[in-house]
Amino acid sequence: MGWLDVLRGRPPSIRPGHDPGVYAAQAVIRHTDGVSNLLYHQAYAERCHRDGQTACSAWLHEQMDDLGADRTQHERLIILAKYRNGDRSFRDLPKS
């Protein structure tokens, strides 16, 4: 979508085969808030220590499904939530 499309009021083009909600900015923000809450405000570290990393990871992905996040976007949302919370290590940043 270019600037002329924005000025003319054309709706953004959606990639074929993709859900428009996946790319909506408000949906990404809402999902990032939810993932941040799961990671930092619901004792995620204690759960991982108690149940092990595999069980903890499965729980996290189930919770993200319940939030309505598309399964293909889970890792990106985790990276965004970590980055927003201040965990800015280079290995957590998306590759460009």
Domain spans in the chain, listed from the N-terminal domain onward: 21-92
pTM beyond 0.85: the answer is no
What digits encode the pLDDT tens for the residues 31-85? 999 999 998 887 788 888 899 889 988 999 999 999 998 889 899 999 888 888 7
In terms of Cβ atoms closer than 10 Å to its own Cβ (0-12, 13-18, 19+), residue 80 is buried
Q: What is the pLDDT of residue 62?
A: 93
Tokens of 28: 């990404």
Helices (H), the chain: 3-8, 20-23, 25-41, 44-51, 53-67, 74-85
d(CA 36, CA 79): 10
Which comes out higher in pLDDT, residue 59 or 6? 59
d(CA 37, CA 82): 11
